[in-house]
Amino acid sequence: MRKTSSPRIAPSEITPRDLYHDRRRFMQAAAGAAAAALWPHWLSAGEKLPGVRKTDHVLPDALTPFEDVAHYNNFYEFGTDKETPSRTAGSLKTRPWTVSVEGEVQKPKLFDVDDLLKLAPLEERIYRLRCVEGWSMVVPWVGFPLAELIKRVEPTGNAKFVEFITLYDPARMPGQKSSVLDWPYREALRLDEAMHPLTLLVFGLYGEVLPNQNGAPVRVVVPWKYGFKSAKSIVRIRFVEQQPVSTWTRAVPSEYGFYANVNPQVDHPRWSQAKERRLGEFFKRPTLMFNGYAEQVAHLYAGMDLKKFF
């Protein structure tokens, strides 16, 4: 019998049978971990977000030019007119940044925003966004469904609403030195609204990291509601049993209801909501019910009087 000089392999070094047969899943997991390791510790405005997947959330509408999206903003933390935020938001430092998820959840957690950003695959979704003042835009947002985060923290049976709270730091947000609103900014959704697949936790637009004036480093986008429901620069997400009082509802309850659904049949007390002007266009267009997303979301409000619950 011919002897071999090959060394004897110890049983402890033999790859387990189940791991060998599941090699595809093992390699995919390893590749995913390697890709995450290649991410920089943090990304700044203007940089491309890696690994963004295109989706079927597209519209026949033309995209609003990036320059308009980045220079025409409602963000009172940086100023009350539309052009000021793009000039003053440079004072906002978005790292370090944490988001506390708390309240009626079984797994409360303090997330570093960079870990939060990698919680689920990033998608590009083209959504309309309409402002209650009568202007609108079409933006390719980058993020993932808020439901991905919600499922991980496991809301309790008492959780009926989700409240979003913006950073309060007048040194970084000079508009907060004004008493125009009761700071910090607070917004909220019903839990089923927050869980809806269209509700997006957003980290970028046009494939790039969010500019500060657009809500960096993390915001929500709820495309069938008026834009003020899409909270920006979030630092706390609270799950609660009772309906929270949102900032604009507290300030002017007769004009800004909790639901704030895009409903052209409900006029703002000071102007009509029947038509809107898309940024970059001259002529107005009719406002669509639920901003054009009625087919996907109307069932959430079945039986509700949307003129009363505006």
Is 77 part of any known ligand binding site? Answer: yes
Is 206 part of any known ligand binding site? Answer: no
Q: Which residues contact 186 (CB under 8 A, 6 or more apart)?
A: 163, 164, 165, 166, 231, 244, 245, 246, 247
Is 230 part of any known ligand binding site? Answer: yes
Long-range own/partner contacts, residues 275-279 (CB < 8 A, 24 or more apart):
275/134, 276/130, 276/134, 276/135, 276/136, 277/134, 277/135, 277/136, 278/61, 278/64, 278/135, 278/136, 278/137, 278/138, 279/64, 279/65, 279/68, 279/69, 279/72, 279/135, 279/136, 279/137
Tokens of 142: 């980058």
Is 166 part of any known ligand binding site? Answer: yes
Is 214 part of any known ligand binding site? Answer: yes
* Cα–Cα distance, 177 to 270 (Å, whole number): 27
Is 73 part of any known ligand binding site? Answer: yes
Binding site feature residues for Mo-molybdopterin: 73, 76-77, 131, 166, 214, 219, 230-232
Binding site feature residues: 73, 76-77, 131, 166, 214, 219, 230-232
